[in-house]
Amino acid sequence: MATPLEEWVEEQARLTKPDKIYWCDGSEEEAQRLIEIGMEKETVAGRPVFYELNQKNFKNAFLHRSHPTDVARTEKSTVICYDDKVTAGPNNNWMDPAEAKQMLTKLSDGSMKGRTMYVLPFVMGHPDSPYSRVCVQLTDISYVAVNMRIMTRLGKDITERIGNRDDFLKGIHTIGNFNKDDRYIVHFPQEDLVWSVNSGYGGNALLGKKCISLRLASWKGYHEGWLAEHMLILGVEDPNGQITYIAAALPSACGKTNLAVMQSKLPGYKIWTLGDDIAWLNVGPDGRLWAINPEAGFFGVAPGTSYSSNPNMMDTLKAGQFFPTLFTNVAYDIDTGEPWWEEKDDRPANLLDWQGNRWHADSGTTAAHPNSRFTVSITQTPTLSSEFENPRGVPISAILFGARRTDTVPLVTEAFDWTNGVFAGARMGSETTAAAALKVGALRRDPMAMLPFCGYNMGDYFGHWLRFEERLTHPPKIFSINWFQRDEGGKFLWPGFGDNVRVLKWIVDRVNNSCGAQETPIGLVPNMQDLPLDGLDVSTEQMSELLAVDRDQWRAELEGIKANFEKFGDRLPSELWAEYHKLQDQLSKFQ
């Protein structure tokens, strides 16, 4: 008799009509075979799915060029379905589940004709973790199958583990015809189902990532008492060998990967990597907050990555062995066969752009797409934490909320307490990036960096966050960070990258109550003498600007916060309005 999984696969195959169904076993040989199929048989926009890169300098690395309209997450076609619109909230596009199914059924009818349906069984999180989840995704493109093998723990043992069960999370993905007007990424949280049509782009197509591990998981966490967050996880080792674990939320393309694999510029301090994008946070039996990374790879932004900004990531990208390394929409150095992107190193003389056309310096475009990406196994990073394979995760001592802000938000601020920290996350605004198909550089409210990823009403989500205080006997301290302030000429004031460890040291010292801070209306900021600034090329004036709280800027900020809070009506917890009024009051007295 067929298992529920087999029945589900058959049902989808009857609709999408693939030529073949192939169950992935997750082996290394299989990944190689799929890459060969991608190089020789399958196509995207009339071109091969994969191109081989220089195998000597970038081991096991391959290039993918996407369909030209399919280069970023499409938030406007990302939809959450509940019976009622209010549950999805003003932060999500909503559709009635039955209507959405009808639309998707029509769009998927015969969509896999002439193609192979790949069945991908995987687990998000360590297989032995009490917090992990078993999932199955279907796809019709080798690119997604190989990506998923890097990004998740994928293998035939998961099929065996599912056996006769039917409680696995499901993802249906078809690249269809790439028609961007019919592109939909639709979530059915009450059925543990995601259905994505007409895109092959990362966040739209690697369904284990944003769709399952954030949108579906956030809804699960709301009901089961845990949090699914858009956060990196790292450990800071101090000169005594003590490691403090930190989780940090930043919007897409705002430096999470760089922070997570940072090469510390502070002697005696070392950063250990656990994850760069997603954290699942549970209250442990000891009353501490424990974090696991449900993923197993990085899907990071290529432009800006270099031996000077992030040497550990460069080494990671060259170390492909058991897992391939994929580059999506980067440029190609015709002479060496290596991938290239802006700021990697000196620009090679002869380049193909991200679409495979000869690139000319006077073209007015970048050679790599601004949202070009790499996919690489986390196991290749030289800074991988020895706790990465610990099923119970790591205990978090500090939570960071980061944003990309030209002004207003200081380098680092500590919240007064848990509620004030939740307010700091909820009031976040950040300038948009190329990671989503939006106007780049516009300020928008992005609470907890979860605006595109919270699978239900954010008013309820804030309430969920607030309630953790009573369950945590050792709540993490909460901080806001901003690496992106600029001077009047538009130059970054803070060097960022490896120097960010200086801020992390202050955070660790605050966690250990071993250094001071000064009180401002928005929270506690460092005294300059408490930050380790030796060897840093930043003037005292610049440092004071980086740490300043400007009354007028914050009064303007209040307007933006208020307008966003009002969207949630009576779903916004009263505690957050109380924090808002407290801040307003403090600012009115502040010089």
Contact footprint for Mn ion (CB under 5 A): 252, 277
Other beta carbons within 10 Å of 239? 10
The smaller minimum CB distance to ligand SAT, of residues 126 and 256, is found at 256
The smaller minimum CB distance to ligand SAT, of residues 203 and 573, is found at 203
**Which stretch, 203-211, 232-240, 362-370, 417-425, contacts ligand SAT (CB under 6 A)?**
203-211
Q: How many CA atoms lie within 13 A of 435 on its CB side?
A: 21
Pick from ligand SAT, Mn ion, none: which does 215 bind, CB < 5 to 8 A by kind? none
The smaller minimum CB distance to Mn ion, of residues 178 and 299, is found at 299
Cβ at position 327, least distance to ligand SAT in Å: 14
The smaller minimum CB distance to ligand SAT, of residues 149 and 505, is found at 149
**How many helices (H) and strands (E) would you count in the chain?**
16, 32
Find the binder of ligand SAT among 209, 344, 404, 445 (CB under 6 A).
Answer: 209
Cβ at position 277, least distance to Mn ion in Å: 4
E strand spans, 108-192: 116-124, 133-139, 153-154, 169-174, 184-188
Find the binder of ligand SAT among 435, 437, 450, 504 (CB under 6 A).
Answer: 435
The smaller minimum CB distance to ligand SAT, of residues 368 and 561, is found at 368
* β-bridge pairing 93-95 and 339-340: unpaired
Cβ at position 111, least distance to ligand SAT in Å: 22
Q: CA gyration radius for the chain?
A: 23
Judged by CB under 6 A, the chain residues 279 through 318 that form the site for ligand SAT are 299
The smaller minimum CB distance to ligand SAT, of residues 188 and 299, is found at 299
Closest listed residue to residue 60, CA positions, set 380, 314, 321, 300: 321
Cβ at position 315, least distance to ligand SAT in Å: 22
Residue type, 490: G
Q: How far apart are CA 32 and CA 50, in angstroms?
A: 11
Cα dihedral sign, 570-576-578-580? negative
**Which stretch, 201-209, 357-365, 458-466, 513-521, contacts ligand SAT (CB under 6 A)?**
201-209
Find the binder of ligand SAT among 125, 203, 303, 421 (CB under 6 A).
Answer: 203
Judged by CB under 6 A, the chain residues 43 through 82 that form the site for ligand SAT are 73
Instruction: Indicate the SS3 state at residue 338.
Output: coil
Q: Which residue, chain included where needed, has tokens 């993905």?
A: 173
Q: How far apart are CA 511 and CA 486, in angstroms?
A: 28
Find the binder of ligand SAT among 210, 369, 427, 505 (CB under 6 A).
Answer: 210
- Print the binding letters for residues 247-286 with ligand SAT: x by CB under 6 A, - otherwise: -----x----------------------------------
Q: Which backbone phi and psi does 385 adopt, to 5 degrees?
A: -70, 145
Q: What is the DSSP letter of 492?
A: B
Pick from Mn ion, ligand SAT, none: which does 299 bind, CB < 5 to 8 A by kind? ligand SAT
The smaller minimum CB distance to ligand SAT, of residues 209 and 464, is found at 209
The smaller minimum CB distance to ligand SAT, of residues 202 and 459, is found at 202
Pick from Mn ion, ligand SAT, none: which does 404 bind, CB < 5 to 8 A by kind? none
Residue 248: which residues within 8 A CB-CB, separation 6 or more?
Answer: 231, 232, 234, 256, 259, 399, 400, 401, 402, 481
Pick from Mn ion, ligand SAT, none: which does 58 bind, CB < 5 to 8 A by kind? none
Closest listed residue to residue 519, CA positions, set 407, 399, 415: 415
Cβ at position 366, least distance to ligand SAT in Å: 18
Instruction: Indicate the SS3 state at residue 81.
Output: strand
By annotation, the residues acting in catalysis are 254
Cβ at position 209, least distance to ligand SAT in Å: 5
Using the rule CB under 6 A, is 173 a contact of ligand SAT? no
**Which stretch, 202-210, 330-338, 348-356, 578-586, contacts ligand SAT (CB under 6 A)?**
202-210
Q: Cβ(12)–Cβ(117) under 8 Å?
A: yes
Q: Would you give the distance in Å from CA 326 to the centre of its chain?
A: 17
Q: How far apart are CA 314 and CA 326, in angstroms?
A: 13
State the SS3 of 437-448.
CCCCCCEEECHH
Element (H, E) at 300: strand 297-301
Q: Cβ(580)–Cβ(561) under 8 Å?
A: yes
Q: List residues binding ligand SAT (CB under 6 A).
A: 73, 202-203, 209-210, 252, 299, 435
